[in-house]
């Protein structure tokens, strides 16, 4: 059991750093998109700095964390007795479904990262702010599933975070309108 707990600890550490990277990279995407609208030379200075920050975050923290979290997860699931028992449980199937969606999210972030590194701005800052909420919803769903170990009860947690996200977005829109009125 100690062996399993070491694997689980390492898995959790790298899941935390993976999510930290995903949350922060999207924030850097927002800053890069905003920098594209700045006048020269501010635009070039900011874009260069955000590219460096994004590159380091993405390749030194986020990708390695994703790979290591995955390695320790596979190790726990396929090479321990407890993991093989969990693979038979419905909640684990739902969790793995969310993990698959997380990989898709990560790959989409990779695509956006590449575009911004080439100075291709294809998304708005509002889209990026909403995009950041996707990782939050995945995180909530997975945590509730792992803690409750029930493929049904996690729904309440996800519904709660969706309602919370909607309220944040409504607050964001309200604040944006106030800002626009104050500018004029």
* Of the candidates 174, 15, 183, the residue with the CA atom closest to the CA atom of residue 99: 15
106 assigned ligand-binding residue:
no
Mark out the alpha helices in 36-124 (DSSP H runs): 42-56, 63-79, 81-86, 90-117
pLDDT on residue 16: 98
pLDDT truncated to tens, each residue of the chain (184 aa)?
688 899 999 999 999 999 999 999 999 999 999 999 999 999 999 999 999 999 999 999 999 999 999 999 999 998 888 888 888 888 898 899 999 999 999 999 999 999 999 999 999 998 998 899 899 889 988 888 888 887 666 677 677 777 877 887 788 788 778 878 887 6
pLDDT on residue 153: 67
Q: CA 130, CA 119: separation in Å to the nearest integer? A: 21
Domain range for 40 = 2-183
Angle in degrees, 0-180, between the axes of helices 63-79 and 90-117, rounded to the nearest 10: 160
pLDDT on residue 86: 85
Domain count, the chain: 1
51 assigned ligand-binding residue:
no
Q: Indicate the helix (H) or strand (E) that contains 54.
A: helix 42-56
């Amino acid at each position: 059991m100690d062996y399993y707990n070491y694997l689980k600890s390492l898995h959790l550490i790298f899941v935390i750093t993976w999510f930290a990277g995903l949350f922060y990279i999207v924030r850097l995407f927002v800053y890069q998109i905003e920098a594209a609208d700045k006048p020269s030379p501010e635009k070039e200075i900011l874009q260069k700095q955000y590219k460096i920050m994004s590159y380091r975050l993405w390749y030194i923290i986020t990708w390695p964390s994703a790979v290591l979290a995955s390695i320790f997860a596979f190790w726990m699931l396929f090479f321990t007795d407890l993991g093989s028992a969990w693979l038979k449980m419905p909640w684990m199937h739902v969790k793995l479904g969310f993990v698959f969606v997380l990989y898709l999210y990560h790959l989409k972030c990779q695509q956006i990262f590449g575009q911004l590194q080439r100075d291709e701005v294809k998304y708005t800052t509002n889209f990026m702010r909403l995009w950041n909420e996707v990782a939050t919803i995945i995180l909530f769903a997975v945590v509730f599933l792992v803690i409750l170990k029930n493929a049904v009860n996690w729904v309440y947690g996800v519904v709660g975070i969706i309602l919370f996200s909607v309220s944040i977005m409504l607050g964001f829109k309200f604040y944006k309108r106030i800002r626009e009125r104050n500018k004029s």
